Amino acid sequence: MRRFGGATLSAKIIRLSDHQVASEADLAIDLRTAVDVAIRDLREIASCWGTDVARERLIECQDMLQKVLAAS
């Protein structure tokens, strides 16, 4: 866990670039799961709003939702 301004982030960010090989099947999640993850991410973003971590998480959350929506 990482602490930022009194807020604790409970999720670990795993970037696709951290993995040498990631197939489309590995990245596929259903829309319901994507919404659940996005809600959790947005709570964490709100808890450390204005930081680089929050901006990074916001971009990752948006990208994930766009990919899932495009695949649905």
The amino acid at 67: K
CA-CA distance, 26 to 19, in Å (whole number)? Answer: 11
Quickly state the pLDDT bin for 69 (edges 50, 70, 90): confident
- The span from the CA of 33 to the CA of 50, in Å, is 26
Which pLDDT score, from 0 to 100, does residue 22 have?
46
Q: What is the pLDDT of residues 4-57, one digit of tens each?
A: 556 655 665 555 554 444 445 545 678 888 889 899 999 999 999 999 999 999
Give pLDDT, residue 59.
93
What pLDDT shows up at residue 18? 46
